[in-house]
Amino acid sequence: MDPIRERMRQLTRRWFLRDSSLALGGMALAADLLPTARPAVGPGRHHHPPRARNVIWLHMEGAPPTLDMFDRKPVLDRFDGKPCPDEFLQKERFAFIKGHPKLLGHRWGFQRRNRLGVEVIELLPHLAQVLDDCCLVKSMFTDQFNHAPAELMLLTGAPRPGRPSTGSWLSYGLGSENRNLPAFVVLMSGNLPSAGKSLWSPGFLPSVHQGVEFRTQGDPVPYLADPAGMDRAQRQRLLAAMSDLNRQHAATAGNPETDTRIAQYELAFAMQMSVPEATDLASEPAAIHELYGTTPGRTSLANNCLLARRLIERGVRFVHLFDSGWDIHGTGPGDDLMTQFPKKCRELDRPLAALLLDLRRRGLLDDTLVIWGGEFGRTPMNEERDGSRFFGRDHHPHCHAMLLAGGGIKAGAVIGATDELGYKIVESPIHVHDLQATVLHCLGLDHERLTFPFQGRDFRLTDVFGRVRPELLA
């Protein structure tokens, strides 16, 4: 039987008529559309042999100025402070720049400390030494130039809330390798991203695929401890009774979310034992803390990088790290290239280099895909908002850089190039939908076949766009 029809059959007539918001005409339309829907891949089943089993995605919320980090432009330095050429401004739309902006040269020097020969900003000495494990993509681009829509576009495939996140798609397609931990975990250092919790929402997928937030300060997950006056055995009996009631309700009402509730209660009970062990950074040896620059008990990108390694070791499918503070506009000392930017580089440098080195030493990098980057790029011009004397760059969707490593990605490669000012891509443009398609490919999934029926059609992470980019693959 067609899996889609089987799924609909399992939703009993009583539940469908009681809880569905479809009118009779809508039900007829849905029935007409169902035969054309392609079934989604089942949990743990691949479309082709995978190169990666897990993903660690480090999202630098606010969009770091990768032009200043990995894409040195001597011409930009030569014309520092000069008016931007007119041809770059025709029909251009900026988020904040007004009038005729001036070019802004690099404010920090570069170094070459890798076999790849890539010049890296001097503020990232540790990362420069492990760059040979990475694929540096200089030609990423997006359709969005404001933070929340661009974050949603990058991580959910659409600029509006409501679509499943990348981690939710992988949880739905592949499931978890550990029954005692979630398939999809979220770690944050700093403020909530501009697009909020929509970035780890399951959207229209079953809610069991929601990203679960872990904290590195205090209890990793709220309510891990048993309630006061209740021991572990009593708690287990209570949850077993609730599961029995939920199963009876599922058998009579047929609501698929009841099955999700049962699974979540069971996972929550298992997490009471597994999460404290998995998040116990203090159990790591002193040499590891020295490598990462970690301090157990603090909320930091360093702690989250180490925690991400521990989680993928234990079978978590997708770990998403969000680090805020990268919105370098130059409106004041808290977001300029001379104070905030070097601070963020120092916070990033050792932990990211340590994560790549640690994964390689443990034999985990081969099947763990590591992704680092932001939602868009930064202009080669000084924003100079309201006459500010500080240095910063406006939003720039036309080009930015990202780092990929491990899990089927070509190591020691530089893909794409930008023009002499770092304004436009001149070689191998790679859209965010191409990145999404390639990530799924590395995990053994065809982005055109990993679908879910919703509102009368099949949806996918890449919408109706994207293609796997072979130049990124080993």
pLDDT of residue 40: 41
Q: Identify the CA nearest to 124 among candidates 357, 380, 307, 344.
A: 344
Are 174 and 310 members of one domain? yes
Same domain, 398 and 465: yes
Same domain, 137 and 229: no
Res. 317: pLDDT tops 70: yes
Asked whether the predicted pLDDT for residue 15 surpasses 70, the reply is: no
pLDDT at res. 238: 66
pLDDT of 260: 62
What percent of the chain has a predicted confidence (pLDDT) above 90?
Answer: 71
Q: What is the mean pLDDT of residues 105-120?
A: 90
CB atoms within 10 A of CB 43: 12
* Residues 71 and 170 reside in one and the same domain: yes
Asked if the structure places residue 139 within a domain, the reply is yes
Is 130 a residue whose pLDDT tops 80? yes
| Range with lowest mean pLDDT among 32-41, 277-286, 371-380 | 32-41
Indicate if 89 and 198 belong to the same structural domain: yes
What pLDDT score does 323 carry?
Answer: 98
- Give 25's pLDDT tier (boundaries 50, 70, 90): very low
User: Looking at the structure, do residues 9 and 91 belong to the same domain, yes or no?
Assistant: no
Q: Residue 252 falls within a domain, yes or no?
A: yes
Q: Is 390 found in the same domain as 431?
A: yes
Query: 214 - beta bridge partners?
Result: 187
Q: pLDDT by residue (tens digit) across 407-452?
A: 999 999 999 999 999 999 999 999 999 999 999 999 999 999 999 9
Q: Where are the alpha helices (DSSP H) in 223-255?
A: 232-253
CB-based burial label for 432 (10 Å; 0-12, 13-18, 19+): buried
Q: Give CA 218 to chain center in angstroms.
A: 24
* pLDDT (0 to 100) of residue 403: 98
Rounded Cα distance between 329 and 63, Å, is: 10
pLDDT of residue 38: 33
Q: Looking at the structure, tell me whether residues 340 and 290 fall in a common domain.
A: yes
Number of domains in the chain: 3
Assess if residue 285 is contained within a domain.
Answer: yes
Reported confidence tier of residue 270, pLDDT bands at 50, 70, 90: low
Residues 21 and 137 in one domain: no
Q: Is the dihedral of CA 157, 160, 163, 166 positive or negative?
A: positive
pLDDT tens per residue across span 232-249: 676 667 667 776 777 776
pLDDT in tens, 62-106: 999 999 999 999 999 999 999 999 988 988 989 999 999 999 999
* Predicted pLDDT of residue 273: 67
Residues 6+ apart with CB under 8 A from 399: 138, 139, 140, 141, 377, 418, 422, 423, 424, 425
- Residue 337 and residue 407 in one domain: yes
Tell me whether residue 348 is in a domain. yes
Quick check: 13 pLDDT over 90? no
Pick from 3, 8, 2: nearest CA to 31: 8
Give a yes or no: residue 274 inside a domain.
no
Beta carbons within 8 Å of 127's beta carbon, 6+ residues apart: 120, 348, 349, 352, 353
| CATH code of the domain covering residue 112 | 3.40.720.10
Q: What is the pLDDT of residue 32?
A: 34
Residue type, 84: C
Out of 35-39, 207-211, 367-371, which region has the weakest mean confidence (pLDDT)?
Answer: 35-39
Q: Would residue 452 count as lying in a domain?
A: yes
Query: How far apart, in whole angstroms, are the C-alpha atoms of residue 411 and residue 392?
Result: 32
The CA distance from 144 to 135, in Å, is: 24
- How far apart (Å, rounded) are the C-alpha atoms in residues 73 and 211? 39
Tens-place pLDDT, residues 170-228:
999 998 888 889 999 999 999 999 999 999 999 999 988 999 999 867 677 755 666 66
Does residue 448 contact residue 436 with C-beta atoms inside 8 Å?
A: no
pLDDT surpassing 70 at residue 303: yes
pLDDT on residue 351: 98
Question: Is the model's pLDDT at 19 over the cut of 60?
Answer: no
248 and 314 both lie in a single domain: no
Give domain status of residue 42, yes or no: no
What's the pTM value of the predicted model, to 2 decimals?
0.86
Domain that holds residue 24: 1-37
Residue 273 lies in a domain: no
**Together in a domain, 418 and 304:** yes
